[in-house]
Structure 1
Amino acid sequence: MVTTFKINYFWEKIDMKIHDISKSNSILNHFLHQIRDESIQSDRMKFRRNIERIGEILSYEMSKTLEFQTKKFHTPLSASSYESLNEEIVVCSILRAGIPLHTGVLNYFDDADSAFVSAYRKQSETSEDDFDIVVEYLSSPNLEDKTLVLVDPMLATGLSMLNVLKALKKVGTPKSIHILSVIGAQPGIDLVSNYLPEHAHLWIGSIDERLNEKGYIIPGLGDAGDLAYGKKM
């Protein structure tokens, strides 16, 4: 069993809104197949690019819920107007696997600021099936009243996400939170949902039913960081 997580958080306990994009047929499902298929995912450049493209799709879907305001401008022929994004966005990724997804989000939100957090599984010395989540590094702008977009390709146990949110607490309380993940497991989503406010959203490529005894998503795709950048020691 994985380590249990206890936290006294600073929001009222209300379930977040979950948007499973795979429920509708779209090109997203083609990219999901390619990152899952072991005969295709071994191409690291293609794996990273597909994660990036999924980030772009999730960003587009998320953008439909953001705040816009009308602004005027001139074409070469006449005056016109458009709806301009009216949000101060900070994109935060969990290193190292989150980098391609982070890039995909920045491709769509040009003016967003960025934050980075390191979080990794530290294996228990007494059991190979138990682990803690350790956060060692945080680089972030002030999040007070900002729109926080937290990206992590694999939402497995949910422990990394909660530890990162706890670490980010020290740099301000965002006005809204959007989590973007490629694949998640239902147990991890349930855990995270219990600690996020009503105005939080999860935008996800696909939801798998379970975790194995080591806390990995089944069927999942394997270790996203290793597939993107090579195996670590």
Structure 2
Amino acid sequence: MADHLTIATHPLVQHKLTLMRKADTPTAQFRQLLREISQLLAYEVTRDLELTTARITTPLVEMDAPVLAGPKLALVSILRAGNGLLDGMLDLIPSARVGFIGLYRDEVTLKPVEYYAKLPAGLETRRTIVVDPMLATGNSSAAAVSMLKAKGARDIRFLCLLAAPEGVARMAQAHPDVPITTGALDERLNDKGYIVPGLGDAGDRMFGTK
């Protein structure tokens, strides 16, 4: 599991995550914190992007300067809560193509049900970063990655705010080729499939719904 999972231990990530966990953090602040922390997590998940050099002219001299090489990026949000991570990541990577996968969790079976999919073309030539704040049971995440692979995606990363051991294990079993980056690995799932200690339902807290 260690090779499959990267936990972003940066102090700013951990501090902002603590603020988001607090039950009395208001919706507007929660949403702003999620946008801020997504940029820090984006930094972590893109750490191994390939570089090449390009000849440029500075105000003083010409030089060979580092620029991104390799495949372009695609960001795929698992609706609806994934959009909270997506917004901040687009601030950092504005040229990325964007896709959306609509999945909801059946509260009885805990299985994912698809209701929407809109993906960019050319996934086979792009690095695809799937974003969803919570990796709980892992069923929805695994289903989303399977859908992307069926559409041709080959280089896939998964980014989340919080993960449960059960979800990490499910993803490692279903998609051992998909690395996971998260802000924290929490203790467990409760009997309703929520992450403990967690921060509640990320979508509800982000949008002020119940």
TM-score normalised according to structure 2 size: 0.92
Q: Does the CA-based 8 Å contact 1:102-1:151 persist in structure 2?
A: yes
Aligned length: 208
Deviation at 1:66, TM superposition (A): 1.2
Gaps of 5+ in 2: none
Write out aligned runs for 1:1-233 (5 A): 17-22=4-9, 25-40=10-25, 43-86=26-69, 87-124=71-108, 130-142=109-121, 143-174=123-154, 176-198=155-177, 200-232=178-210
Q: Equivalents in 1 of 2:107, 2:5: separation in Å?
A: 30
Q: Kindly, what percent of the aligned residue pairs are identical?
A: 34
Higher helix share: 2
Post-superposition Cα deviations, 1:62-98, rounded to whole Å, max 9, x if no partner, equal: 2221111111111222212321112311000111101
Q: Equivalents in 1 of 2:53, 2:4: separation in Å?
A: 27
Q: Equivalents in 1 of 2:2, 2:46: separation in Å?
A: 21
Post-superposition Cα deviations, 1:121-176, rounded to whole Å, max 9, x if no partner, equal: 1233xxxxx332101110101311310100000000000101111222332132x2
TM-score normalised according to structure 1 size: 0.84
Post-superposition Cα deviations, 1:30-59, rounded to whole Å, max 9, x if no partner, equal: 10001001122xx21211111111111111
Q: Does the CA-based 8 Å contact 1:55-1:180 persist in structure 2?
A: no
Q: Does the CA-based 8 Å contact 2:77-2:99 persist in structure 1?
A: yes
Q: Equivalents in 2 of 1:104, 1:16: separation in Å?
A: 26
Deviation at 1:223, TM superposition (A): 0.4
Q: Does the CA-based 8 Å contact 1:16-1:196 persist in structure 2?
A: no
The list of structure 1 runs, each at least 4 consecutive aligned residues, that deviate by more than 4 angstroms after superposition, is none
Amino acid of the structure 2 residue aligned with 1:32: L
Gaps of 5+ in 1: 1-13, 125-129
Post-superposition Cα deviations, 1:87-117, rounded to whole Å, max 9, x if no partner, equal: 3110001111011101111121121100001
What secondary structure, in the 3-state scheme, does the structure 2 residue paired with 1:27 have? helix
Deviation at 1:221, TM superposition (A): 0.4
